[in-house]
Amino acid sequence: MASSGKTISSEKVGYNFSQAAFSYERAAKVQREAAARLLDFMDASLPRGFRPETVIELGAGTGFVTRRLVMAFEGAKILVTDISDEMLGICRRKIFSMTGRKDEWMLDFEMLDFNEDFEIAPDCGLVVSGLSFQWAADLRSLISRICSGLPSGGYLAFSILLEGSLGEFRRLFDDAGIEYPVPPHPELRDVREFCSEFADIRAESYTLSSPHSGIRAFLQSLKNIGAVNPGLSKIQPGKMRKILSAATGGEFTASYHIANIVCRK
């Protein structure tokens, strides 16, 4: 993998999320709301009475999506995965505690980097990912691999950050004349095109706003959820001071543009 700061590094992403494992649950307000909206969109988009034999969740984090998957698809085998072993451990303990599920052989947890090749069981009818595909090194390739692995009639459901997300923060870099180190998020039309191998695609988009007391509080919130620079380069302290000085005092609001996608093979 290239060493450009604008390249997603799975190793760096995994490290960031592992460092934030114990602060994520309280800090991830946007992610919690996005998880609820994804599951609601799935409820409206999947066929009535849909009962997959196996469900795979990619990028589970601490389990905002997982809990509703377990409740919605009782009786299905569910494989819950994440790139961070620390996040996965918290998710596992929380799900067994909150749901009371005792049939552990039906509910498995596995550390997995979805940027690497992975197997999809022949009886897998549903792959789900809540707000994690923006960390894909190659989103088109990831979606294509999932489509290839799913059986005919299988579904992929995911949410993802769209172009314009954190635009307020990006503009501070522009004002300071410093390159923003994170690759741009895709536009909705790009995401739909990446899903074009599927027979049917349903999509919706919306915006969530996250207010903070100031720019430093916003940056701390990103650190608390592990959503910091996923590349291999570092922003020098002098450049960061210049970026912070470009911010006006008072409240800082960050906008998240999000798409929910449900695809049928």
- What digits encode the pLDDT tens for the residues 136-147? 999 999 999 999
Q: Which residue ranges make up each domain of the chain?
A: 10-163+181-207+256-264
Contact 12, 232 (CB under 8 A): yes
In the predicted model, is pLDDT for residue 54 greater than 90? yes
Spatial separation of the C-alpha atoms in residues 237 and 249, rounded to whole Å = 20
What is residue 232's predicted lDDT score, i.e. its pLDDT? 60
Cα torsion 180, 8, 24, 259: sign: positive
Note the Cα 156 to chain centre separation in Å: 14
What is residue 241's predicted lDDT score, i.e. its pLDDT? 84
What is residue 20's predicted lDDT score, i.e. its pLDDT? 87
* Residue 3 pLDDT level (bands cut at 50, 70, 90): very low
Q: What is the pLDDT of residues 79-138, one digit of tens each?
A: 999 999 999 999 999 988 877 765 666 889 999 999 998 999 999 999 999 999 999 999
What does the pLDDT average to over 149-175?
95
Pair type for strands 124-129 and 77-82: unpaired
What does the pLDDT average to over 163-178?
92
Torsion angles phi and psi, residue 142, rounded to 5: -60, -50
Mention every residue, 6+ apart, whose C-beta is less than 8 A from residue 19. Answer: 226
* Residue 229 pLDDT level (bands cut at 50, 70, 90): confident
Cα angle: 55, vertex 58, 59; to 5 degrees: 140
Instruction: Put residue 77 in one of left, alpha, beta given phi > 0 → left and psi -120 to 50 → alpha.
Output: beta
What is residue 231's predicted lDDT score, i.e. its pLDDT? 64
Tell the residue number behind the tokens 């929380």, with chain if given. Answer: 94
* Residue 2 pLDDT level (bands cut at 50, 70, 90): very low
Strands (DSSP E) found in the chain: 54-57, 77-82, 107-111, 124-129, 155-161, 200-212, 252-264
Mention every residue, 6+ apart, whose C-beta is less than 8 A from residue 138. Answer: 115
Helix and strand totals (H; E) in the chain? 10, 7
**Does residue 176 or residue 8 have the better pLDDT?**
176
CB atoms within 10 A of CB 16: 21
Spatial separation of the C-alpha atoms in residues 218 and 168, rounded to whole Å = 11
What is residue 139's predicted lDDT score, i.e. its pLDDT? 97
Class of domain 10-163+181-207+256-264: alpha beta
In the predicted model, is pLDDT for residue 188 greater than 90? yes
CA distances from 90 to 23, 95, 96, 111 (A): 11, 9, 10, 12
